Amino acid sequence: MAIYPSHVEVPLQWGEMDALQHVNNAVYFRYFESARIAHLRRLRLGADLAADGVGPVLASINCRFRFPLTYPDSLIVGSRFLSAGGDRAELGNAVYSRRHHRIVAEGQALLVWINVATGRKAPIPDLLLAAIQQEMNAHP
């Protein structure tokens, strides 16, 4: 998990399990969302993500499930940028189980920046792009 500069702790909830008594696949996308939002807020130093009139929208997301999670457990969800430029950036995520001491899922998300007023694509703001690139250089 050291390659992920942002981490959030997530307690696994009983209600996240499905009929087969493991965490439902859709729940992992909520874990990724929590890490993604925390990561973006950290890079913007807590500023409103759309304060400059542009913000990211999720264009695509995927997940590779490596090991089933069951209650009880406590998770660490990591997030890092894999690439960025123009109007888009790709994030990588991993879910680590404290109970099993292993990564249980990994995923990628493609974010596209849009102008909030028009809904059209817009470039990633220069300051944010510089922060993303600095982070990627520090965590290759």
How far apart CA 8 and CA 56 sit, in angstroms, is 20
Q: Residue length, the chain?
A: 140
pLDDT of residue 53: 85
pLDDT of residue 87: 97
Token match 């007023």: residue? 117
How would you write the pLDDT of the chain (140 residues) with one tens digit per residue? 889 999 999 999 999 999 999 999 999 999 999 999 999 888 875 566 666 788 899 999 999 999 999 999 999 999 999 999 999 999 999 999 999 999 999 999 999 999 989 999 999 988 889 999 999 998 77
pLDDT of residue 49: 60
Radius of gyration of the CA atoms of the chain, in A = 16
Q: Which of 113, 63, 60 is nearest to 86 (CA)?
A: 113
pLDDT of residue 42: 86
pLDDT of residue 66: 98
pLDDT of residue 83: 96
